[in-house]
Amino acid sequence: MWRQRRVMWQVLTPLINAAVYYIIFGLVLDTKRGVDNFVPYLCTGVFIFQFTQSVVQAGIQSISGNLGLIRALHFPRASLPLAITMVEIRNMLASMAVLMLIVLARGEPLTWEWLLVVPIFLLQSIFNAGLAMTVTRLGSKVADFKQLVPFIMRIWMYGSAVLYPATMFAKKLDGWQLALVETNPLLVFIELMRHALMENVTLAAPAPALWAEAIGWTLLVGIGGFINFWRGEKGYGRG
């Protein structure tokens, strides 16, 4: 029963957020201008961002919240952030089903490009696992870091074109600033998912470039996060 309620809220949370963001940004601030089908565009951004956000928020406390278990038993500590990632992957599968229904209900056609959802989801899942291990180690060393996570994630959301077209950045930024924003890993995953689920979407960069960046970020954060976590293996639970 508890698991069913958690999955239910995993789906409801991004839906409620999307509804609030649509009213504020889509209607009041009119950021939907220039986007043919803003509702699925917005929902895709919110759902994909929520996937990573949930992993980070749970991962930051995976060591500090299990100190008793860590001190009592000897087991690979990496299993804690990886278990969190697996739980969020399971929850995200339910969210993806809802997202696809929203996209279809809003008139987007079912095309062969929907098959790209699988590798995009896989890449983001590996990225999330590496990110979970990174924030887990950081959270175990700096107890107050969890207080900063909500602010960090909010800034990250605004820089990931969740609430408005990614092309808006090109109107305000140029040079290295624009390049930095457009290589944001969450922006890359969101843009790829929008490209897979929707037609006539103007991307921040050509699709091949986005795929290259997604693979690069997955390898860097996935492998780097594991190595970073493994190097601190013996210190977890002490103090």
pLDDT for the residue 207 = 92
Cα–Cα nearest to 136, from 85, 192, 88: 85
Rg of the chain (C-alpha set) = 18
CA–CA dist 211, 203 (Å, integer): 12
This prediction's pTM: 0.88
CA–CA dist 65, 83 (Å, integer): 14
CA separation, residue 195 to residues 9, 32, 129, 206 (Å): 27, 17, 24, 10
Per-residue pLDDT tens digits of the chain, which is 239 residues long: 555 666 666 667 777 777 777 777 666 656 666 677 888 899 999 999 999 999 999 888 877 776 666 777 677 777 888 999 999 998 899 889 889 998 998 889 999 999 999 999 999 999 999 999 999 888 777 777 888 888 999 999 999 988 888 888 877 778 888 888 889 999 999 999 999 999 888 888 899 999 999 999 999 999 999 998 888 776 666 55
HEC readout, the chain: CHHHHHHHHHHHHHHHHHHHHHHHHHHHCCCCCCCCCHHHHHHHHHHHHHHHHHHHHHHCCCCHHHHHHHHHCCCCCCHHHHHHHHHHHHHHHHHHHHHHHHHHHCCCCCCHHHHHHHHHHHHHHHHHHHHHHHHHHHHHHCCCHHHHHHHHHHHHHHCCCCCCCCCHHHHHCCHHHHHHHHCCHHHHHHHHHHHHHCCCCCCCCCHHHHHHHHHHHHHHHHHHHHHHHHHCHHHCCCC
Q: Please say whether the beta carbons of 52 and 128 come within 8 A.
A: yes
Task: Map out the domains of the chain as residue ranges.
Answer: 2-165+172-235
